[in-house]
């Protein structure tokens, strides 16, 4: 897919912006019953929660009043918009979520569906559209098929597929900017290709089967612990030693909670054996950390390139309640056959989510 990110106007690859909406809704015309419905991702459960009426929403989601309210609003207004098929999207706002704020001397309409606060100039055309809307939804995926249990996914959604009504602010998630195609220079492409090639060569060195599932799981938790601190993998050898220290401290904490000396000794033996096992697999784990770092560096090229031309105002709320300017959560690149690559700024947005929790 890399070749599709050049300056060619003929590329069939498109990029969608990952909106930070909530809830994620799946809605449209049930191909079996021809009735309009709304649902959440619970539609994929073994016992799906499909809502055709307000009563269905009360039954399926009454335990979550905030969610139920937004689903009822979607059920009320989205039949005006969706002509056919089934769509998945992000619920951005209802009327009561909109606020007028003056930030740095500019009048803005703001709404915060999840982690990010979105801010739109109040007197702009977009701001006026949002101000008069009852709800706002961004659709990014379309489903077709003969039943809700047999749907085919397509990420090429265009806002022209929807009816336009004053009650609903609706749009697709495709990346839009005034400059046209966002391409990479030859030097930028060369750097990305080298990082991907390097990642490929590192991946070939790793003896994947020698790394146990528990080590994979602990590595994932360890990396998340770095992200909580606003860090990421920077030096794979140093991070390996930190990983061993993190495992040791985690094990010692568990041992200290045991009551008998016998159980402590037994647990200590298990911990020592596990640490020795990790040490014996040092090269594989260091290479895995190095691979993670190289892929993150390559991903940042894409994120920074698209961030450089995004004009929308977006903020993350800081612990003291102030707003910090931020970029979109990430992007999703889709090629002509539907393959998707997600570029998510984990360091910024996972850190923000961890702090919020």
Q: Are 191 and 101 part of one and the same domain?
A: no
168 and 25 in a common domain: yes
**Which of the listed residues 144, 172, 200 is the one where a domain comes to its end?**
172
Q: Structure tokens of 75?
A: 């059920």
What's the pLDDT tens digit per position in 250-297? 999 999 999 999 999 999 999 999 999 999 999 999 999 999 888 888
Q: Tell me: do 142 and 278 sit in the same domain.
A: no
Domain membership flag for residue 247: yes
Of the candidates 253, 276, 298, which is a domain's last residue? 298
Which pTM does this prediction carry? Answer: 0.56
Whether 24 maps to a domain, the answer reads yes
Percent of the chain with pLDDT over 70: 76
In the block, residue with structure tokens 């929790």: 357
Output 301 or 195, whichever has higher pLDDT.
195
Token pair for 280: 């014996």
pLDDT tens digits for range 313-334: 555 566 666 555 555 554 444 4
| Same structural domain, 218 and 138 | no
Q: Is residue 4 part of a domain?
A: no
190 and 213 share a domain? yes
Same domain, 72 and 190: no
Residues 108, 101: Cα–Cα separation, whole Å: 5
Who contacts 176 (Cβ-Cβ below 8 Å, separation ≥6)? none
pLDDT at 350: 42
The vertex-172 CA angle with 324 and 34, nearest 5°, equals: 130
34, 69, 99, 220, 276 from 81: Cα distances, Å? 16, 19, 24, 41, 60
User: Token digits for 144?
Assistant: 């077709």
Closest CA to 125 of 161, 88, 171: 171
Domain co-membership, 192 together with 249: yes
For residue 305, tell me if it sits in a domain: no
Two tokens, residue 33: 């019953």
How many structural domains does the chain have? Answer: 2
Of 202, 190, 226, the C-alpha closest to 301 is 190
Kindly report the CA angle at 209 between 205 and 212, in degrees rounded to 5? 115
Q: Is residue 321 part of a domain?
A: no
Residues 286 and 227 in one domain: yes
pLDDT of 305? 65
- Same-domain pairing of 27 and 149: yes
- Indicate if 154 and 198 belong to the same structural domain: no
pLDDT of residue 180: 43
Task: State mean pLDDT over 342-357.
Answer: 43
Per-residue pLDDT, 47: 82
Of 153 and 18, the structure prediction assigns the larger pLDDT to 153
Q: Which domain holds residue 165?
A: 20-172
In a domain, 330, yes or no: no
| 124 band by pLDDT with thresholds 50, 70 and 90 | confident
């Amino acid at each position: 897919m890399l070749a599709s990110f050049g300056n060619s106007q003929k590329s069939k690859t498109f990029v969608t912006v990952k909106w930070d909406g909530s809830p994620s809704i799946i809605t449209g015309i049930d191909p079996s019953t021809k009735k309009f419905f709304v649902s959440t991702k619970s539609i994929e459960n073994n016992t799906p929660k499909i809502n055709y009426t307000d009563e269905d929403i009360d039954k399926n989601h009454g335990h979550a009043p905030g969610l139920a309210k937004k689903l009822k609003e979607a059920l009320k207004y989205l039949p005006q918009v969706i002509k056919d098929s089934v769509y998945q999207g992000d619920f951005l706002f209802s009327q009561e979520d909109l606020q007028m704020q003056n930030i740095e001397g500019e009048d803005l309409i703001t709404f915060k569906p999840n982690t990010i606060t979105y801010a739109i100039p109040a007197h702009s055309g977009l701001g006026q559209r949002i101000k008069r809307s009852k709800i706002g939804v961004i659709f990014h995926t379309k489903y077709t098929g003969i039943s809700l249990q047999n749907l085919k996914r397509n990420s090429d959604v265009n806002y022209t597929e929807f009816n336009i009504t004053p009650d609903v602010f609706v749009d697709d998630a495709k990346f839009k900017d005034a400059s046209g195609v966002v391409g990479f220079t030859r030097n930028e492409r060369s750097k990305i290709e080298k990082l991907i090639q390097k990642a490929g060569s590192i991946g070939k060195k790793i003896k994947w089967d020698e790394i146990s599932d528990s080590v994979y799981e602990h590595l994932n938790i360890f990396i998340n612990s770095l992200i909580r601190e606003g860090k990421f993998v920077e030096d794979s050898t140093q991070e390996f030693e930190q990983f061993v220290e993190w495992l040791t401290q985690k094990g010692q904490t568990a041992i200290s909670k045991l009551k008998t000396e016998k159980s402590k000794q037994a647990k200590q033996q298990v911990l020592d054996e596990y640490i020795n096992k990790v040490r014996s697999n040092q090269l594989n784990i260091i290479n895995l950390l190095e691979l993670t770092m190289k892929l993150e560096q390559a991903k940042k090229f894409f994120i920074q390139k698209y961030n450089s031309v995004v004009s929308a105002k977006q903020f993350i709320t800081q612990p003291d309640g102030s707003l910090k300017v931020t970029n979109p959560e990430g992007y999703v690149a889709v090629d002509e056959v539907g393959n998707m690559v997600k570029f998510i700024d984990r360091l910024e947005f996972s850190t923000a989510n961890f702090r919020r929790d």
